[in-house]
Homo-oligomer: A and B are copies of this chain.
Amino acid sequence: MIILLKENANARQVDNLKKFLTNRGFDLHISEGTQHTLIGLIGDTSKLDIDLISSLDVVESVRRIQEPYKNANRKFHTADTVVDVGGAKIGGGHFMMIAGPCSVETHDQILSVAESVKASGANMLRGGAFKPRTSPYAFQGLHEKGIELLREAKKQTGLPIITEIMDINHLPLFEDVDVIQVGARNMQNFELLKELGQTRKPILLKRGLANTIEELLMSAEYIMAGGNEQVILCERGIRTFETATRNTLDLSAVPVLHKLTHLPVVVDPSHGTGVNDLVHPMALAAVAAGADGLIIEVHNDPPHALCDGKQSLTPEQFDHLAKAVRGILPFAAKEMTWE
């Protein structure tokens, strides 16, 4: 960490700062310019509060050289983390294909989708039981009943299941859930992250709509600081001025994350674009960019169905996509155990 002091910084306050830092075990390396003084900190600064330092009267600015995350940092853990979910693996060259409906609706719906995505090669089933909705008047999911139905689908198909948690008090309901998803809106729900850090279940952590890649890693660090090392990161689009897509899928985040962290990275092109016919090309693009997995919305399509997510694929479309993904996986040096 490099601290740039203000011109004409009060000498006593600078002294206080130096004492504060040496008391915390840092070696200081002072460099006096004609106008400015720099203090270089030698030691582990990942747990030093940068906001506190940069708010000091005598400090012009602070620049980290070390990243502010440690457990998630590839520098201290060079090998890829591989998360094993009942035999389905992600990370370290293992590719994971997660598919399923936006919401769990009925027994027949979830069973039918589960079987068809499995047949197409998915190795995990998704489905929302607790749905975060902008409006209090919108359908919010089947809750316990939804998880119950997912469990049945798991039993019948053997696919591990992933579903979203919205309140830490619901945790007991997630006992048979294989991967717990933290949604974009809860990426900085720090109390929730801390509690999940106490569990030993894999967590799929979605990037918030307005959150930087570094903030995503800091949220992963919250979970890992509690001892839960099995974090899967998920890029699902950020909010920009563009309105042709619901969000702007930031695929650059995939190679950036691979440089910074050893954690696996999944891409969600369904929420990332919000448009059905963009899912296929953006899913392939995600694989080409190096994603370790995909999470895709698939709905069943009975003749009279009223509702089919604008961004969901039909089972046929998903089957077509899964084949295309298989085609390019070798070019991305990934492979998958197709069930």
Contacts and interface: CB of A to CB of B under 8 A. Distances in A.
Interface of A: 2, 4, 12, 16-17, 20, 29, 31, 33-36, 38, 40, 42, 46-52, 54-57, 60-61, 63, 65, 68-69, 132-140, 166-169, 185-186, 188-192, 194, 208-210, 212-215, 218, 221-222, 225, 238-245, 248-256, 259, 272-273, 277-278, 281-282, 284-290, 304, 306-312, 324, 327-328, 331-332
15 contacts: A4-B65, A16-B304, A17-B306, A29-B33, A47-B137, A136-B190, A210-B238, A210-B239, A213-B244, A238-B240, A243-B243, A252-B273, A281-B290, A282-B289, A284-B331
A136 B70 CA distance: 11
A167 to B, nearest CB: 4
A232 B332 CA distance: 29
Specify how many copies of this chain sit in the oligomer.
4
Contacts of A311: 55
Given A138-B49, A167-B191, A285-B289, A308 B242 contact: no
A210 B36 CA distance: 32
A16 B166 contact: no
Contact of A40 (B31, B47, B285): B31
Which 7 residue pairs across A and B have the least CB separation, nearest first? Answer: A210-B210, A288-B288, A167-B191, A285-B289, A31-B31, A47-B137, A55-B310
Contact of A190 (B133, B137, B214): B133
Given A186-B189, A278-B255, A210 B212 contact: no
Given A55-B312, A133-B190, A238-B242, 11 more contacts: A49-B139, A55-B310, A185-B188, A185-B189, A210-B210, A240-B241, A242-B253, A252-B282, A255-B277, A255-B281, A284-B288
Contacts of A192: 167
